[in-house]
Amino acid sequence: MRVRVPVGGDAPYDVVIGSGLTGEIEALVEGASRVAVVHSAAQQVAAAAVLRALGRRGHPLIVPDAEAGKTVEVAASCWSELARLGFTRSDVVVGVGGGAVTDLAGWVAACWLRGVRVVQVPTTLLGMVDAAVGGKTGVNISAGKNMVGAFHSPAGVLCDLDALDTLPTPDYAAGLAEVVKCGFIADPAILDLIEADLSAAGTPGPLSPELIRRAVQVKADAVSADLREAGRREFLNYGHTLAHAIEQAEGYLWRHGDAVAVGLVFAAALGRESGRLDTATAERHVAVLQGLGLPTSYDAPLASLMPAMRIDKKARGDRLRFVV
């Protein structure tokens, strides 16, 4: 069974959720003579399936895994390869991997010749429900996470559930932090599904398609109305101000979802202290996230994280802003 979640806006596209989605690639790269498949060595199997579907048009671009690949230097190496291959504006970049790879692939595509098509094939839960959907692309620099990038909507996103079968449990749990976030900001049915059976929700299985569909729908609704994060889309950053600061402090060795889990609890506490959130809901944040095996605290002085938070994308002038 395949589900299509449409994302509206100036450049609409579909997020396809299901199994065995390689056949969807052909329509998304129509008219291209060359297709660069950006992936890490860890995603060799998934990338090989895409390359087989592309035939002679496909060209692998192997990049470092995880956040190590999200750098200006790695992006520049990709552009050099596109130049060597003779990529034109009718050609396509495909990102195969987790959120770091899809972020990188999207930015490579956004900048090459001022914008070529990108197709995202996320292979992690976090990539499926967050990074690959919405058109945010970018890389990290020493000053912070995702500080350099662009909004560049994909031509399509293919969430092949088969990829989750081999995803390590900690990585799946980290992706669930973004799913839980969607439950708290827009779709409480997500929380009900998870709380009904925390054990089942914590691993790939029968609940996965529905949780992914609901989380993608939350993001699609926000992005369709506000691609460039001028209003409604900012709510998707719930928990992320502290999360990005933690990731930077830890040298990007923490999983993004783990940092988001801590950030959600912190944002809920801010909401409670400011009178915007009731105590029961704040405590529910902790209970759900801990039930999924995610961290809910971080052992460091808040002051040590302030410099990173002050240049967060939600900051305005000298004012630090949180979604609560």
| Catalytic positions, written as ranges | 114, 136, 178, 219, 229, 233, 237, 240, 244, 256
SS3 203: coil
CB–CB of 318/245 below 8 Å?
Answer: no
Q: Tell the residue number behind the tokens 């690949």, with chain if given.
A: 69
> Which pair of tokens denotes residue 21?
């989605």
Element (H, E) at 196: helix 188-196
- Closest to 140 (Cα-Cα) out of 149, 153, 150, 130: 149
Chain CA centroid to CA 61, Å: 20
CB–CB of 5/217 below 8 Å?
Answer: yes
Burial of 213 (0-12, 13-18, 19+ CB in 10 A): middle
Strands 92-97 and 35-40: parallel
Phi, psi dihedrals of residue 120, rounded to the nearest 5°: -105, 130
Phi, psi dihedrals of residue 285, rounded to the nearest 5°: -55, -50
Dihedral angle, C-alpha 270, 276, 277, 279, nearest 10 °? 80
Phi, psi dihedrals of residue 199, rounded to the nearest 5°: -65, -45
